[in-house]
A and B are shown apart, each in its own frame.
With several copies, the nearest count.
Chain A
Amino acid sequence: MGLGAEIRNKIAKRAAEEIEHGMLVNLGIGIPSLVPNHLPSGKTVMFHAENGITGMGPSPVKGQEDSNLCNAGGYPVTLQEGASYCDSATAFGMIRSGKIDITILGALQVSGSGDLANWIVPGKRVPGMGGAMDLAAKAKKVIVVMNHCDKNGSSKIVEVCTLPLTAKSCVQMVITEMAVFEVTPEGLLLSDIFSHYSVDEIRVRTEVQFGISESLRTLTY
């Protein structure tokens, strides 16, 4: 079901390319948490946590953890220069008022029009939406990083999400182990392809029809 570390890092590396100097970025758990490792030095990026940190740094070295300095998942982090603390209301105010330049999230399903389902599997897992709806609906750019297919081999990029939605028409980009899609008003556009795959393979594994970018790029990393 899961992807290997190498592939997960490739996805994270591609997502990192979207991040520009000075941006405020919120990362979900899983693959998104690998993104900071792939930012070139020289880019200053501020990472946002829903519990009230603007300017979150990497994990501390073992033994240096501070139980009062943790990310929204409850794991120890550090601070960047220029960081600040706020309460959760303000942290979500930043989200709702569009101050988050990019959020990078996992997903269960994404539709061709950018609908996102990532918070619930009815009858199975009902964990609550947490901050997923706020982020998906309000971040300036929502990037989904996920396996291309679920454990049954079915495309997670779907015509219509069958799982309950997190937010409608919110996803701008989908990055999987096979390819990168942009969500455009005309539908999905294949913009990048990982070098082990062909466009035909991707068509077979993707439930939704997609266009191909004129500047289609092959990712060799």
Chain B
Amino acid sequence: MLANTFQKITEIDYIKRFFKDGMTIMYGGFGGIGTPPGLVDAIIESKIKELTLIGNDTGFPDIGIGKIVTSKQVKRLIVSHIGSNPNAGKFMTNGELEIEFSPQGTLAERIRAGGMGLGGILTDVGADVEVVRRNKQTCEVDGKTFLIETALTADVSIVHAEKADPYGNLIFSKSARNTNPLVAMAGKITIAEAEEIVPLGELDPEGIITPGVFVDYIIPSKGVNWKWVWEQK
């Protein structure tokens, strides 16, 4: 029996109390890989609506965060692309969904900045592109113009880990790491869905990617329950 020393290990049913209409949810994952399947389903089952979602992309219609887009619970998205989820494009076109696009690297840094307690970052990516520049503040450093890209945080962050320990220390699996360590830092409440929960002290201190202090709750995962695009005929 695993010691729940920090009272962070819990069940999906307990987590549902944090899901509320109109809230902002940030999610780990890149094309659905690294998005927590059990937490996605819990959000769908909770039927909360008018959500703002923040993450790299909208996955696929039946994969990853895409399932929540498909279920029409989302009012607003802050993402870098929606190319793999036609539903997101359709809802945007018919006015059901508002989308703010951020260049992928800028988005990653905005999320990290939120997690690291910064107000934002300066970048020149997109500084001369209208759809990125919009009405953002700019500043000059050494004669060069930079966009002021503001930090992003969320009411709840959801991430998918390979292993967690009772303090919430996380490691990820291969490229499923992607945005997860960033998203894990940027939630007012961060919930990690873990494929395995191991005793305190079992994870190598050198190899921990997300220090447990950033994680508030840990739930055991039942694994991915969708078929990947490359598995479909």
Contact = CB atoms under 8 A, between A and B. Distances in A.
Q: A and B: direct contact (Cβ < 8 Å)?
A: yes
Across the A-B interface, give the 9 residue pairs with the lowest CB-CB distance, nearest first. Answer: A96-B117, A92-B105, A128-B81, A127-B83, A93-B116, A74-B31, A97-B117, A84-B208, A81-B201
Most chain B CB inside 10 Å of its own CB: which residue of A84, A132, A167: A84
B214 interface: yes
Size class of B's contact patch? 35 or more
A85 B208 contact: yes
Contact of B116 (A22, A50, A96, A126): A96
Interface of B: 5-7, 30-34, 56-57, 60, 79-84, 89, 92-93, 99, 101, 103-106, 108-109, 111-112, 115-118, 123-126, 128-132, 162, 165-167, 169, 173-182, 185, 200-201, 203, 205-206, 208-209, 211-214, 224, 228-231
Given A97-B116, A134-B106, A164-B129, A87 B177 contact: yes
A90 interface: yes
A125 B81 CA distance: 11
Contacts of A49: 175
A137 B229 CA distance: 30
B128 A93 contact: no
Nearest to A123: B93
A53 B31 contact: no
B81 A127 contact: yes
Contacts of B92: 126
Given A74-B33, A94-B211, A129 B81 contact: yes
- Interface core residue of B99, B104, B177 (most chain A CB under 10 Å): B104
